[in-house]
Amino acid sequence: MWTRGQLKNSAKEDLKGFYWLSVGASFLVNLLSGGATGFSGSSFRNLNLDGFNSNGYSNSYNYNLNPNISADDWKFIWLFVGIVFVIVIIALIIGFGYSAFLSNPLRFGLNKFYVHREPEDRAIGTVFSAFKKGTYMSVVKTLFMKDIIVFLWSLLFIIPGWIKSYAYRLVPYIINDHPELDYKEALRRSQEMTDGEKFSMFVLDLSFIGWSLLTILTCGIGILFLNPYVEATWAQFYLKMCEKVNDGSQVVLDAVSQ
């Protein structure tokens, strides 16, 4: 059994003597991996369709809801739709690529930094540990497949994707401990370790909301000092899940061939 208080107290103890180093590690990873692309409809707010003003209300003259659109107009409309579609697809590809080849490996290294199985893991250079020869492509593949599966589940009205995101949250930690595992086995083990824990994990995330809101008062700068606390707490959660499945140090190695 575990409680949020236990995890957070353990995280605070773990950060003693390493807090500023942890701030630096988290800042470095967030700086390098913070370029995720988002989409917004704000670019269309100033679009002024014939017969409507920029607020979306009709102008004083009568607007024909079924105007006659010429063939040239239809060509322009379909061209515009096609261009927007292509731009969105390209942006998604770039976003997934950025996440797969840079953000995910950096997050992998940050997880290793906070779990620090070995004394030398508690160093800034640990955040780049995924970029070693023989490790990088395995990390990229495993975490990319995790993201794709969560994304596909998210297409089913969001909630299934939310559940899967918690089910697979421990995958980076697992492949840190067991880099020989393929992505299917890593996903399976994460799902087993988080079985019955997902709602508690959600509540654990919620417990940081108050602190996150306070960082707004510092124009977001406070998040730099909150991140180590959050990351260390989730590292303690992983260690607790390891204890749940065996004697407390590592995930039990099943036969990979199963």
pLDDT one-digit tens code per residue, 152-211: 999 988 888 999 999 999 999 999 999 999 999 999 999 999 999 999 999 999 999 998
Closest CA relative to residue 202, chosen from 172, 224, 234, 225? 234
CA distance 158 to 75: 35
Greatest alpha-carbon span in the chain:
77
Listed in sequence order, the residues at least 6 apart from 145 whose beta carbon sits closer than 8 Å to its beta carbon are 183, 187
CA distance 1 to 164: 22
pLDDT at residue 6 is higher than 90: yes
Closest CA relative to residue 165, chosen from 189, 187, 142? 187
Q: What is the pLDDT of residue 27?
A: 92
User: Rounded to two decimals, what is the model's pTM?
Assistant: 0.75
Listed in sequence order, the residues at least 6 apart from 70 whose beta carbon sits closer than 8 Å to its beta carbon are none
Torsion of CA 119, 166, 34, 157, to 10 degrees: 170
Q: What is the pLDDT of residue 111?
A: 95
Q: Over the stretch 104-129, which tens digit does the pLDDT of each residue have?
A: 999 999 999 999 988 888 899 999 99
Q: Over the stretch 17-68, which tens digit does the pLDDT of each residue have?
A: 899 999 999 999 988 886 433 333 333 334 343 444 444 444 444 444 455 6
Residue with tokens 């292509």: 86
Q: What's the distance, Cα to Cα, between the start and end of the chain in Å?
A: 29
